[in-house]
Structure 1
Amino acid sequence: MVTVPSGSQGVSVPTRLAPVATKPAQTRPAEVVPAPTEPGRLTARLRSRLNTPRIYWLAAAGLVVLALATGAAAVADVRQREALITDVAEVSGPISVDAQTLYRNLADADATAATAFLATDGESPELRTRYLDDLARATAALTIALRDADDEEAAWLRIVADQLPAYTGLVETARSNQRLGVPLGGAYLREASGLMQQTILPAAAEVFNSTHRRLIAEQEEAAGFPWLVTLLVLATGGALIAAQVLVARRSRRTFNLGLVTASAVTVLALLWSVVALGASAGRLETGRRDGSVLVSLLANSGRAALQARANESLTLVARGGGATFEKTFTSRLDELIGADGQGGLFAQALAQAPSSDRRLIADARDEAIRWRTLHEQVRAADNGGDWDKAVALATQSGDEALPAVFARLDGGLTEALTVGNGRVDEQAEQAANALRGLLPGLVLLTGGLVAAVVMGFRPRIGEYR
């Protein structure tokens, strides 16, 4: 209410003061804090739980598991190699030799029977004895091979076992007819030789090839690179380095004695394994290259030489009807020394053989070259109608005569085969010696590695109790 003062003219008018308009105060909205997302919660939870002692526990457990896995893999690898080496020395190697014995003695029996049939003054007692000895050795090898063969090899060996009596029966019939002066003797002998060369020897060759492939495969496997063990060792070494970096950063200590010891144990195990496995693999590779592979070439060389000798005799037995046998002779001799005398299986064997064996093989090749020259003289006489002279050249005695030349060739191949087979056994034994002590050593080193890891982390974990 406003009052007008007295004395003044005017009308007293009641009035009301208008309220003063005020600007309402501005307030800031409350800040909204977003709720943590699920990944954020997991990270926070891990950070809260993965404190230093727990990190140490996890690192130690991981290293122990990795060390045990590496040790187990290394022990298993060494055991497998030792088993393969033992198999090479005691099973695959002897089986391969038995297959060679079977293969070679069958071929030699056939060549001897054909050569003995050419004697005009009666059968030579020496050749008869050699033929019977060949059959006896072949039969013994056949019995052993049947005992140790797998299913496929046994099937081939049964062919040999079934057909060998038929072969010997035909040879004996041929001998009887020859003694009685019956011309059918030659026909029986040719039939016997055909059975040997077309049925029995191919079956024996399959057995030899199968056993030889198995031998070489075991040598290669025993000398193979240990990929799994190598990867585990590298992983263990990397994990040890990472663990030492972790402990050094969190404990402010540059070196951890336990982990340094574990690293040293790992290096020692690695060096020992590298040296032992490398030496063993080197021996096995030598046995494969200078033994098994060379033996295969020499065995095939002996087979080619013996078959050539048999067909050379059968050509004369056929008395003018032996063109097929002569063709086979030429093919086998070319297989042995090549058309020029410098190729064939002998050239391959010389390239494969170590230097200590080359003189022996080269001498045998030189005898094969002389044999070709002497054979040409036999053929010249036979083709000229002088069969008696041809037989005399093929059977005469003397150091430079054809039988003596072939004997030196055959003897050289036999000696080279013996050396090659001996090298397989020798290198397998040395490969086994290289691994001697490694298996228990790896077990002890694995235990030492685990103990060193525990010793390295235990004091650090104890600092937080």
Structure 2
Amino acid sequence: MPTQLAPARELAPPGRERLPTPRLYWLVAAGLVVLALVTGVAAVADVRERSALLTDVAEVKAPISVDAQTLYRSLAEADAIAATAFLSTTGESATLRTRYLDGIARASTALTVALRDADDDETARLRVVAEQLPVYTGLVETARSNQRHGVPLGGAYLREASGLMQQTILPAAAGVFDSTHRRLVGEQEEADGFPWLAAFFGALLAAALLWAQVLVARRSRRTFNLGLVAASGVTVLALLWSVVALGASTGRLETGPGSPAKQVLVLANAGRAALQARANESLTLVARGGGATFETEFVSQLDELIGVDGQGGLLAAALAETEADSRVAVFIDQARTEANQWRKLHQGVRAADNGGDWNRAVELATATGEQDLPAVFTRLDTALTGALAAGNQQVDGQTGGAGSALTGLSAGFVLLTVGLMVAVGLGFRPRIGEYR
């Protein structure tokens, strides 16, 4: 059996005292243990912060955003229904009346919920909605009362109500939705960020372990130190686990262009544009020849929705960022088809109205056939609602998937950190004992 070599005793350079090897080992071991602890704390803190952000997105920010969507959409829908109901030549439609009241009720409920979780800026906007919504409904009721009694002022009250909705209430609601959506996307992007602090300490620890092994090999004349090799293995395992888990989490949580969260923003605006266009289409007829401004708004909003000559628009933008075989893409395709058909039918309404046949124009705008304008708009609205719901489901699914990828990582880092510190201690203990 070969004789074990004693640790080399090196002479200190002239004029400078050499740090005794046992004390050097103690200092290196203590430094590695502290560095391992700091690295473990940084890694655990990063994972817990990411998990907390993803939980907040799933349980707070996403529901708040959906509530803001509901408020935004319900207000626009109620306004569109109120204007459409006013065109009836056979008396008020019970169905449309119920839908209008349901829209106002949903908006009121969403408003109450949104106020509970809003920040200061959102609260200011929501107060505008809360203060002006009763004014709006009062104007609508006055318009209905005048219409039932045959008073011509009914149309004027309805136009005033719709103006209040489109110029004051909806912009305030849109501001709330944009704000809540930015907060949601912001937290997603933060949860998707690179762990710079943990990565820095991890790289520093790996370099320190390599340096320590070289130091011990030179001083002890042994090539390998099993404890330090084991510590290095634990470090590599922790780094690999981090790369896999964080990579999976990042891969499931899309935050760039075309992400579900950003598609939701486009689809919500598309739904708003469609509903406002429908309201302005009806108001053009309610004005009986004085609705040029409403017609201009209609054209602008329909162009915003599907572009000019079928090119561009919100629906095209949403479709370009959506996977071709996804549910969202199917709904968007349906919506584009119905929107283009709506534009053709609207041209017939305008031709009759501009030609002096107002009754014919109203008949075309309110006919009940499957290929008539109301049915086409209903299918368009249903498709947009389906696309928005599917987009929200994708946001929820990705957030949940990103969170599940981090499951066990925090506890794993704690165990690996403890194992690494133990391995460092076991690696240096026999080397220090050689000098006793």
**Is the TM-score greater than 0.5?**
yes
SS of equivalent residue, structure 1 residue 320: coil
User: In the aligned structure 2, how far is the partner of 1:46 from the partner of 1:75?
Assistant: 43
Report if aligned partners of 1:304, 1:332 keep a CA contact under 8 Å in 2: yes
**Are 1:120 and 2:89 an aligned pair?**
yes
Matches within 5 A, 1:49-60: 50-60=19-29
2:279 to 296, 305, 310: 310
Matches within 5 A, 1:52-451: 52-285=21-254, 289-355=258-324, 356=326, 357-451=328-422
SS of equivalent residue, structure 1 residue 47: coil
Report if aligned partners of 1:287, 1:424 keep a CA contact under 8 Å in 2: no
Aligned-partner residue type, residue 404 of structure 2: N
User: In the aligned structure 2, how far is the partner of 1:373 from the partner of 1:384?
Assistant: 17
Does the C-alpha gap of structure 1 residues 46 and 231 become closer, same or farther in structure 2, counting only changes over 3 Å? farther
SS of equivalent residue, structure 2 residue 253: helix
> Could you tell me how far 1:354 is from its partner in structure 2?
2.2
User: In the aligned structure 1, how far is the partner of 2:425 from the partner of 2:139?
Assistant: 79
User: In the aligned structure 1, how far is the partner of 2:192 from the partner of 2:331?
Assistant: 29
Report if aligned partners of 2:72, 2:174 keep a CA contact under 8 Å in 1: yes
Does the C-alpha gap of structure 1 residues 178 and 59 become closer, same or farther in structure 2, counting only changes over 3 Å? same
2:17 to 43, 47, 53: 47
RMSD, aligned α-carbons? 1.3
Report if aligned partners of 2:189, 2:255 keep a CA contact under 8 Å in 1: no
Aligned-partner residue type, residue 127 of structure 1: L
The corresponding residue for 1:26 is none
Aligned-partner residue type, residue 223 of structure 1: D
Aligned-partner residue type, residue 107 of structure 1: A
Report if aligned partners of 1:174, 1:185 keep a CA contact under 8 Å in 2: yes
User: In the aligned structure 1, how far is the partner of 2:142 from the partner of 2:400?
Assistant: 48
Aligned-partner residue type, residue 302 of structure 1: G
User: In the aligned structure 1, how far is the partner of 2:47 from the partner of 2:16?
Assistant: 42
| Greater RCO (Cα-Cα under 8 Å, separation 6 or more) | 2
The corresponding residue for 2:4 is none
> Could you tell me how far 1:342 is from its partner in structure 2?
2.4
Does the C-alpha gap of structure 1 residues 124 and 166 become closer, same or farther in structure 2, counting only changes over 3 Å? same
> Could you tell me how far 1:59 is from its partner in structure 2?
1.1
User: In the aligned structure 2, how far is the partner of 1:232 from the partner of 1:300?
Assistant: 44
User: In the aligned structure 2, how far is the partner of 1:90 from the partner of 1:143?
Assistant: 18
User: In the aligned structure 2, how far is the partner of 1:326 from the partner of 1:144?
Assistant: 35
The percentage of aligned residue pairs carrying the same residue is 72
Aligned-partner residue type, residue 173 of structure 1: T
Report if aligned partners of 1:262, 1:449 keep a CA contact under 8 Å in 2: yes
User: In the aligned structure 1, how far is the partner of 2:254 from the partner of 2:13?
Assistant: 55
CA displacement, residues 317-347 of structure 1 (integer Å, 9 cap, x when unaligned): 0000000000000000011111111211011
SS of equivalent residue, structure 2 residue 17: helix
User: In the aligned structure 1, how far is the partner of 2:415 from the partner of 2:44?
Assistant: 11
User: In the aligned structure 1, how far is the partner of 2:334 from the partner of 2:17?
Assistant: 81
CA displacement, residues 68-112 of structure 1 (integer Å, 9 cap, x when unaligned): 110010011011001100100011000000000000000000000
The corresponding residue for 1:12 is none
User: In the aligned structure 1, how far is the partner of 2:254 from the partner of 2:196?
Assistant: 18
User: In the aligned structure 1, how far is the partner of 2:383 from the partner of 2:204?
Assistant: 54
Aligned-partner residue type, residue 457 of structure 1: F
> Could you tell me how far 1:285 is from its partner in structure 2?
1.4
CA displacement, residues 131-171 of structure 1 (integer Å, 9 cap, x when unaligned): 00101110000000000000000000000000000000000
Does the C-alpha gap of structure 1 residues 286 and 213 become closer, same or farther in structure 2, counting only changes over 3 Å? closer
User: In the aligned structure 2, how far is the partner of 1:254 from the partner of 1:102?
Assistant: 70
Report if aligned partners of 1:290, 1:354 keep a CA contact under 8 Å in 2: no
SS of equivalent residue, structure 1 residue 285: coil
Report if aligned partners of 1:397, 1:404 keep a CA contact under 8 Å in 2: yes
> Could you tell me how far 1:382 is from its partner in structure 2?
0.0
The corresponding residue for 2:8 is none
> Could you tell me how far 1:359 is from its partner in structure 2?
2.1
Between Structure 1 and Structure 2, whose CA radius of gyration is higher?
1
The runs of at least 4 consecutive aligned structure 1 residues that moved more than 2 Å come to 42-48, 286-290
Aligned-partner residue type, residue 241 of structure 1: L
Number of matched pairs: 423
Report if aligned partners of 1:315, 1:326 keep a CA contact under 8 Å in 2: yes
Report if aligned partners of 2:257, 2:321 keep a CA contact under 8 Å in 1: no
Report if aligned partners of 2:305, 2:313 keep a CA contact under 8 Å in 1: yes
Report if aligned partners of 1:287, 1:423 keep a CA contact under 8 Å in 2: no
Report if aligned partners of 2:188, 2:255 keep a CA contact under 8 Å in 1: no
